[in-house]
């Protein structure tokens, strides 16, 4: 996984839009247009959605493919594209790890205090708040 190549590919709004189209093609195309999406989405349909020239769209698809974010399969003269969900999940996990705030010493001390306190109400409330909102909770006591 070349993370720099991936982020370079994601830096372009058209390429991010292509990933969105490939994620849920049924929102943007009829299943008849692409044979039910079993093979992915046909390059021509992606070009139509993008309203750009064939060469421009081909370049965007190539950049995404080189980054590993999409897969291409040829059937006769047609190319079908789909997302590489495994790689996208790995990138998402790495980004979460990099971007999630670290607990500082003050927060660690507060969590330790809550654990040592006989009344665990504060800790339980913070834990459930963290589960409910994904932020706040234990991070919110900073």
- Residue that has been written with the tokens 């205090």 in this structure: 113
Q: pLDDT, tens digit, for every residue of 92-120?
A: 988 888 877 666 677 777 777 767 766 66
**6, burial (CB in 10 Å: exposed 0-12, middle 13-18, buried 19+):** buried
Supply the angle between the helices 54-67 and 43-50 in degrees, to the nearest 10: 110
Please, what is the average pLDDT of the chain? 81
Higher pLDDT, 110 or 130: 110
Give the pLDDT confidence score for residue 142 in this predicted structure: 40
User: Given pLDDT bands bounded at 50, 70 and 90, which one contains residue 65?
Assistant: very high
Give the pLDDT confidence score for residue 14 in this predicted structure: 94
User: Given pLDDT bands bounded at 50, 70 and 90, which one contains residue 134?
Assistant: low
Q: pLDDT, tens digit, for every residue of 9-30?
A: 999 999 999 999 999 888 887 7
Residues contacting 4, CB < 8 A, separation 6+: none
Our measurement of the distance from residue 84's CA atom to the centroid of its chain's CA atoms, rounded to an integer in Å, reads 11
Which sign does the torsion angle of CA 42, 46, 49, 55 carry? negative
- Residue that has been written with the tokens 């064939």 in this structure: 54
d(C-alpha 122, C-alpha 20), whole Å: 41
To which H or E segment does residue 70 belong? Answer: strand 70-75
């Amino acid at each position: 996984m070349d993370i720099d190549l991936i982020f370079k590919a994601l830096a372009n709004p058209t390429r991010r839009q292509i990933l969105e189209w490939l994620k849920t093609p049924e929102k943007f195309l009829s299943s008849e247009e692409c044979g039910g999406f079993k093979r992915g989405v046909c390059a021509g349909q992606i070009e139509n959605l993008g309203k750009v020239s064939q060469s421009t769209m081909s370049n965007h698809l190539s950049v995404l493919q080189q980054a590993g974010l999409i897969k291409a399969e040829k059937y006769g003269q047609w190319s079908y594209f789909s997302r590489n969900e495994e790689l996208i999940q790995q990138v998402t996990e790495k980004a979460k790890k990099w971007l999630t705030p670290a607990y500082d010493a003050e927060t660690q001390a507060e969590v330790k205090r809550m654990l040592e306190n006989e009344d665990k109400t504060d800790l339980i409330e913070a834990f459930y708040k963290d589960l409910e909102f994904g932020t706040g909770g234990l991070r919110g006591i900073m």
